[in-house]
Structures are given as C-alpha cells and as structure tokens.
Structure 1
Amino acid sequence: MSLFGRVAREAALEAGCYMKRRLGKIKELSFKGEINLVTDVDKKCEALIIRRLKSHFPKHEILAEESGGDRQSCAYRWVIDPLDGTTNYAHNFPFFAVSIALERELKPIVGVVYDPMRDETFYAERDKGAYLNRKRMHVSKERSLSRSLLATGFAYDVKRVLQNNISNFNKFVMSAQAIRRPGSASLDICYVASGRLDGFWEMKLFPWDTAAAVLIAKEAGGKVTRFSGEPYSHYDEDVIVSNSKIHKQMIDVLRSKRRRSWRR
C-alpha cells in the first residue's frame, strides 16, 4: 500500500470510528434544500479527514461534500464524502460509509470506502487490484440479469422532478431477480466490487459519491459506464456499475421505452 493509500485509510478509519461513537447522539441536524440532511457529525468527520490529509500533503487540493473545494494548483486532489448515507445515519439505520479518493489530473488513483458498522475497508489503487480488509476481491460471475441482484438510489429531488429514476426502477423490477435501495452509493458500488451485488445504477450523483468506489469496482473486474454506454467519469451524473457480464443487459433495459408487463 502506498503512502497515499495508508494515509487515506487512516483518515477513513478515524472518521468512521468517530461517527460510530456518535451514532444516536446527533447534536445538530439541518437541511441542504428541502430534504437533504446534514449533521454536525458530517462536518466533524470532514474536518478530521481534511486535517489528516493536509498534515501529510499540504499542497494537495481538496473537494469535499460539506466544505466544497480549495484551489492549490496541484495535480493531486482528494475527493471526500465524510458520511455517505446521512439520512440512514440520522435514523440510526446502520448503512453508511466514509469515502475518500485521490485524483491525479482528475483520474482516481486511490480509493478507500470504510463501513464502520461492519468494520469493512474497501480499498484500491490503480492497476493494483481491489481489496476488502486486505483480502483480494472480485465481482460476481452472474451472466443473466434475470438472476441478478441490483441496487440503486434516488436523488433528493425525487418528489419534485420527472427525471427521478422511478421509471428505471420499474423497468429493472421486471427484469432483475430483485432490487435493493440501501441508501449509500459508495457502499452499493463496493458491494458490486465484492460480488454481493451484481449491478448498480443511479443518476444525479456527485463526484464524492463515486470517485473512490468506482475505482474499487474497476480494480475488482467490474465495468463502469454512463447510461448511454459511454465512458464514465465521476464528474458525470449517471452511472452503471456491473460485474461486466450483465452490463449490456442493463443498458438495454435503460434504453427500453417502457417497463415490461407482468405475465403469468
């Protein structure tokens, strides 16, 4: 593991341990928009992560969900989601994570996603494979969408706009074995990387949602594109992540005009 990776892992563990201790003890709860929650724990975890990263790499840029970005004219930038799954956290639902990625010239080269409730660290460096708690991991081998377990999520404006992923959800319900909506995109994607899920799709995502997890999925043998099938960047809003074997089937479902009708 490189110095970049070690520091990112240490930062993720520190933030994750803090949020686990504070679970059920939120002091401040506010909203970004109508229903997008932010807590004092989000802010504290972000501060802990940035402090540790800056202590080792003071010239690196930062792009973080709560505090935004700084400009250092450096090729390296850390992309941080201090608490991916804030709504879950606020309701004491134990599915949330810390996500930290390092970019070099806008391309992720290190990714760490830490689940403090299960003490699971998903980790990858470019061209070095993907690991779960130091053990090499790989995507599933499922070839049929009809036998696949998928996950997705919904943007915070789901109740106010037409492009809200509901129609896509309906189509996949009729095409896949089952769909899950756990509420943390970074963990969902890491579950594809570890073979627990076969595929994931979502729209209206932000760079900090996917930067680390997408690298991890690719290094585990997964395929990542936009809904159109074009190459994906974590600065794009829509993404498909799969074990590669069901990828075309997922694209075909998203391109279909209507959901399949139920037939007995």
Structure 2
Amino acid sequence: MRPRTPSQADPVDLVQARRVAIDAAEAAGALLRARTCEPLRVRAKGDHGDVVTDLDTAAEELILRRLRAVYPGHRIIAEESGVLEGGDGMVWLVDPLDGTNNVAIGMPVYAVGLALCAGSVPVLGVVHDPVTARTWSAARGQGTHGPDGARLRLDGPGRVEHPVLAWTQGHDVGRGDPVALSLRTSLEAGCGRLLQLWAPLVAWVMLARGDIDGIVGYRPEIVDLPAGALLAAEAGAELRGLDGSPYELDIDLPAEERGFVAARPNLLDRLLETTAAATAVNGLRL
C-alpha cells in the first residue's frame, strides 16, 4: 500500500481516538461474547446469502453511542445503520460483527472492527477478537500494536513453497462470477491452504501477526477493509492492486477498484503472477 498523507495534519488526537475506538470495540466484544450462546434471531440481508442478527444491531448501537459521545461531528459509515452524517471531514467505519454468518452457524470466528479516516484516507484501525478478548490497533505511520502493547513486525520469509493464504470477496459477487472462480482456483492450486473465513478482519489480523502469508480480495466490502488493511500494512505487509498497480486505500473507491493482493514482501510478486495468470488464461479483466 502506497503511503498516503491526509490533506491536513492529523485533525484529531490519534492517541485519544485509538483509546476511544479500543474501548468501544472491547465493550461491543464483551456484549457479543456474553450473548453468542443465547438463541439468535437470524434474518436474511440482501439477495446474496448474507444475514444479520440482533447481535449485530446491539453491538453497533453500543459503538455508535460511544463514538457520538466523544466525536459528535464525525461522519459514521456503519454496517447496519448506513451513513450517519457529520461535517468536519472525519469518517468512522464500523463493523460491529464481522463474521455474522459464522456466528449464525455456531462457529466462533468473528471480530469487531473500527477505522477512522481523515477525508477518505484511513489513519487509525482497531480490530477486537471477542472470542479471545484480544485487540490489535494501528495508526498510520506508527506501526501495529498487539494486546500487550508490543509492536507487530511481519518478519521472516514465511512459507515460501506452500504459503497459507486467505480469500475474501464482496457480498454481491455471484457464485458463478468468472473472475472470482478463476482467482480462487489458481490460488488454491498454488498454495498450501486457502482460507475462506467469512470474516476478513480475522484474516487481516492473522496476516499482521504472521500466522498466514497473504490475502487476496475481489470486490471486497468497504466497511471492514480499512481497519484490517492498515493493521497489515503497518506490520510490514505490502499491498497491490490485483493487476499489480500501486494500491491506495481510499474509502471512496468503487467496489470494482478495491481488489487487492496483500502479502509478506518476498511473496508479493509470486502472488501477483498467479492473479495475472488466472485472469489472462480466460481473457478476463480485473
């Protein structure tokens, strides 16, 4: 990901904003952790197999109350509530429960994510794992920090011959989408394991920690992308567009321009060769 600087010096105190975001994410996580064992009311969301539960809305309401109490003038883009307008150029993105489909089937793989942007440029990302009660955060240019406050660094070559990768795609990508099918097939054939977690924020944390070696995303959702990508980039991962072009994380990008390859630096070129070959062989365009 190419370093970008907001058009103005940090208009908020990022130390305070990080604390506010962590407190909100952890409070939402405690709510989710306490209630995931209760019976869930699961409802369809859209026409592409996504779902929403009462947990999503309850966690989101908690986060929004906390953000509004401290930053009443900030704009908020929330997974369930949509856009809550603000006028001072700062934007929060809130995913109160990334992995709702997992929770709905009793699989404990989910996260809470918040990102703060100056204009359209992410400057702060926070991801909380309610299952383990651990939190990771990153501020632009200040590195990624784990639950114990230690800085995360994506060191070492990783699994060079058989990398472990994660895949994510947007909710509107159909089952028969030719680009998605070609990319997934090629990636799976060339790696040790391809994870499809249904919780992109979990995958981003795994990359930042060095548990996996890369992530490929096709038309990803915007609400959880900035927080996770900032965590990985500040830990040392490199990001490019699916076509190998420089990747500028901008929340105003349309879905078709958000596709990415994120990986350990020494594996990036190899993954880009795979994505290029996957599309070229079928005459597809990214």
Fold equivalence (TM over 0.5): yes
User: Which residue in the other structure is 1:254 paired with?
Assistant: 275
Over aligned residues, Cα RMSD in angstroms? 1.9
Distance 1:139 1:194, change over 3 A: same
Distance in 2 of aligned mates of 1:48 and 1:40: 12
Amino acid in the other structure paired with 2:189: M
User: Which residue in the other structure is 2:30 paired with?
Assistant: 17
User: Which residue in the other structure is 1:57 paired with?
Assistant: 71
Q: Are the equivalent residues in 1 in contact too, given 2:214–2:264 (CA < 8 A)?
A: yes
1:214 aligns with 2:235: no
Distance 1:156 1:77, change over 3 A: closer
Report the Cα offset of residue 163 of structure 1: 3.8
Distance 1:31 1:219, change over 3 A: same
Amino acid in the other structure paired with 1:173: E
Return 172-181 or 106-115, whichever deviates more. 172-181
Distance 1:157 1:110, change over 3 A: closer
The residue matched to 1:147 in structure 2 has which SS?
coil
Q: What fraction of aligned residue pairs are identical, expressed as a percent?
A: 27
Q: Are the equivalent residues in 2 in contact too, given 1:165–1:202 (CA < 8 A)?
A: no
1:120 aligns with 2:134: yes
Normalised by the length of structure 2, the TM-score is 0.85
Amino acid in the other structure paired with 1:43: T
Report the Cα offset of residue 119 of structure 1: 1.7
The residue matched to 2:73 in structure 1 has which SS?
coil
Distance in 2 of aligned mates of 1:196 and 1:108: 24
Amino acid in the other structure paired with 1:201: V
Distance 1:22 1:164, change over 3 A: farther
Return 55-64 or 226-235, whichever deviates more. 226-235
Distance in 1 of aligned mates of 2:86 and 2:281: 47
1:101 aligns with 2:122: no
Distance in 2 of aligned mates of 1:245 and 1:95: 28
Q: Please list every run of 5 or more consecutive structure 1 residues that lacks an aligned counterpart in the other structure.
A: 260-264
User: Which residue in the other structure is 2:192 paired with?
Assistant: 177
Return 169-178 or 155-164, whichever deviates more. 155-164
1:7-46, aligned counterparts within 5 Å? Answer: 7-34=20-47, 35-46=49-60
Q: Please list every run of 5 or more consecutive structure 2 residues that lacks an aligned counterpart in the other structure.
A: 1-13
Q: Are the equivalent residues in 2 in contact too, given 1:79–1:101 (CA < 8 A)?
A: yes
User: Which residue in the other structure is 1:262 paired with?
Assistant: none
Report the Cα offset of residue 144 of structure 1: 6.2
The residue matched to 1:188 in structure 2 has which SS?
helix
Return 46-55 or 236-245, whichever deviates more. 236-245
